[in-house]
Amino acid sequence: MYSGNGELTPVIIYSKRTINEIRDCIIENYGQIKYELPFINAVSVEIPKEKIEKLSAYKMIGSISEDAIVSKAPIFARTRKVQTKCGNYPDDMERIYGSVERGKGVGVAVIDTGVSPHYDLVKPYNRIVAFKDLLADKELPYDDDGHGTHVAGIIAGNGYTSCKYTGTAPCASVIAIKALDESGNGTESDILAALQWIVNNGPIYNIRVINLSLGIKVEPSYDDDPLIKGANAAVRHGYSVVTAAGNNGPGKCTINSPGTSPLVITVGAADLTHCEENGEIKVAGFSSRGPTLAGDSKPDLVAPGVDICSLDGKNPKGYAVQSGTSMAAPVVSGVAACLYATRPNLTPAQVKQILVQEALPIEKEDRFAQGRGLLNYKMFLNL
């Protein structure tokens, strides 16, 4: 095993065939493997910077990519106090628990900062059915940032505490994989390891949807982008991957990876805060725009992403308001879960087609801002 003192660089190494052919060579000559990622025929490892060129010449090595930093994608957050007792308890309970068949039986994987056991996820019964901590290997669910809990609530919160704030799939199961730290940052290999865990364990929890409210700036070398490779592989394994477009707007060509992948469902943020006053819906100014560097039209659609009230990761009975495409993506993830609950034989491509085709065009917004339009949420209420 390599025991030198040179500066180590985190990289992702792709095999031309399988990782078995490169594993021993890497361990013996370069360093300890951090993650094995057979679903994309790759490993992540830290190797001496000066040895990267030599390793790349090895005949079984396909390519080597930098293991870059990935971050969550919110704009701001603030807490909001809500009434914890329902004003009309029987009617409210009937409204909430009578409608929570939406998403029932479907698992949604949330790769994020973790998830806290908020009442809206664990009462009247626990719907956090699995938790995997890639950073500290803790067994019990936790969220030291709060972003992942907010995202999970937008997907699967049932309104137990407020009788008001519910997710789009309030009966879905949550599978939380902690791959981002207390600051909302992680590495590409952490995200890939989370995807590998889902590929390995997805059938156990009936995971059908993966939510990625995170991203990284796209580099010109599209084909070598690790997140895109991972997201594409997950889709090919039968999972709908829903990802935030990014908060780099309003300029064009600002979509984050892996949202630039043509296989994933890329979601921008719509601003509905003035809709009740004047009926006006806009794409949020911060929402990233297309096209991609490859010329593809992105985002695919937009969903509400401004002043979204969901679960407070620091208070098991509290709520917080956040804005960003991080909040828009889980709105769509929940609806995708509803589609799978009612039509389990759908493929990821079919789910994407339904969501995009039913989207409602927004006047005065171009296609590179809104994609095909605003998520047609009302149509899915009865799923």
* Domain regions of the chain by residue span: 8-67, 70-380
DSSP secondary structure letters along 3-31: ---SPEEEEEEEESS-THHHHHHHHHHT-
Nearest 5°: phi and psi at 31? 160, 170
Other CB atoms within 10 A of residue 369 CB: 24
Q: Which range among 22-36, 106-120, 244-258 shows the weakest confidence by mean pLDDT?
A: 22-36
At the topology level, CATH places domain 8-67 in Alpha-Beta Plaits (3.30.70)
At the topology level, CATH places domain 70-380 in Rossmann fold (3.40.50)
DSSP secondary structure letters along 292-352: -TT-----SEEEE-SSEEEE-TT-TT-EEEEESHHHHHHHHHHHHHHHHHH-TT--HHHHH
pLDDT reported for residue 106? 97
pLDDT reported for residue 294? 85
Model confidence at 369: pLDDT above 60: yes
HSE-up of residue 260 (Cα within 13 Å, Cβ side):
27
pLDDT band for position 95 (cuts 50, 70, 90): very low
Residues marked active site are found at 112, 147, 326
Mean pLDDT calculated for residue range 109-136? 97
Q: Residue 346 corresponds to which tokens in the numbers above?
A: 């759908």
Amino acid of residue 69: I
Mean pLDDT calculated for residue range 96-116? 83
pLDDT reported for residue 93? 38
Q: Which range among 49-63, 92-106, 210-224 shows the weakest confidence by mean pLDDT?
A: 92-106
Q: Residue 73 corresponds to which tokens in the numbers above?
A: 């994608």
**Distinct helix (H) and strand (E) counts, the chain:** 11, 18
pLDDT reported for residue 30? 76
Say how far apart CA 43 and CA 14 lie, in whole Å.
7
pLDDT reported for residue 354? 96
Say how far apart CA 244 and CA 301 lie, in whole Å.
11
Q: What dihedral angle (degrees, nearest 10) is formed by the CA atoms of 158, 259, 71, 248?
A: -100
